[in-house]
């Protein structure tokens, strides 16, 4: 099931981030996003009432930027990410968003495959965006 993220979800979001990334957006960042930022839109994916993944954006007028997208490793590769990404794109379309932008590590072929499958296009490189590693910027016109 997909639903909007709430403050009660933050501990689970941080737990998943710590499992999959060396750096996490962190608890206080996520609290502020959910509580104070009217441009923030976060969704969680639940299996048996357990939060196993999430996606977050900031959307202002016609532009949205993905802040994060991750799943517990045990639940990756089962189509849930595709479902959540699709759902969030439809939601952003409903807000009037026309362009979605995201950054992804050059080495992260799994995420790139998901983005390309859903019509995101490789646009340009942000040098050393992740410390020593470059990022691909992907853009989708919606
Ligand atoms: C990226 C991520 C959110 C995708 O979610 P997911 O549930 O694993 O994705 P799906 O199961 O829907 O897989 C979608 C596509 O990914 C590709 N894919 C899946 N596993 C893959 C792998 N090991 N290697 C390469 N491509 C892979 C396939 O193209 C798959 O599409 P298909 O099943 O139609 O062939 C998830 O894998 C994840 O949390 N990864 C670690 C964190 C991360 O990299 N986040 C993105 C930061 S920009």
Q: Is 31 a catalytic residue?
A: no
Cα 108 to ligand 1 centre (Å)? 9
**Under 8 Å between Cβ of 45 and 56:** no
Res. 16: pLDDT tops 90: yes
Phi, psi of 102 (to 5 degrees): -150, 160
Total structural domains in the chain? 1
Whole-structure pTM value: 0.95
Q: What is the pLDDT of residue 94?
A: 97
Answer yes or no: is the C-beta of 78 below 6 A from any ligand 1 atom: yes
DSSP symbols for 52-104: EEEEEEEEETTEEEEEEEEE-GGGTTSSHHHHHHHHHHHHHHHHT--EEEEEE
Per residue in 66-82, pLDDT tens? 999 999 999 999 999 99
Host domain of residue 97:
2-141
CATH at 124: 3.40.630.30
Tell me: the pLDDT tens digits for 24-35? 889 999 999 999
């Amino acid at each position: 099931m997909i639903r909007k993220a709430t403050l009660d979800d933050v501990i689970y979001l941080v737990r998943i981030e710590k499992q999959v990334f060396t750096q996490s957006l962190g608890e206080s960042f996520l609290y502020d996003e959910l509580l104070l930022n009217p441009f923030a839109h976060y969704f969680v994916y639940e299996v048996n009432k357990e939060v196993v993944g999430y996606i977050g954006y900031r959307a202002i007028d016609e532009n949205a930027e993905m802040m994060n997208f991750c799943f517990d490793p045990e639940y990756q590769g089962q189509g849930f990410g595709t479902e959540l990404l699709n759902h969030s794109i439809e939601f952003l379309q409903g807000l009037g968003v026309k362009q979605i932008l995201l950054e992804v590590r050059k080495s992260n072929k799994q995420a790139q495959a998901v983005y390309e499958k859903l019509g995101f296009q490789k646009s340009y490189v942000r040098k050393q965006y992740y410390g020593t590693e470059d990022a691909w910027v992907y853009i989708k016109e919606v």
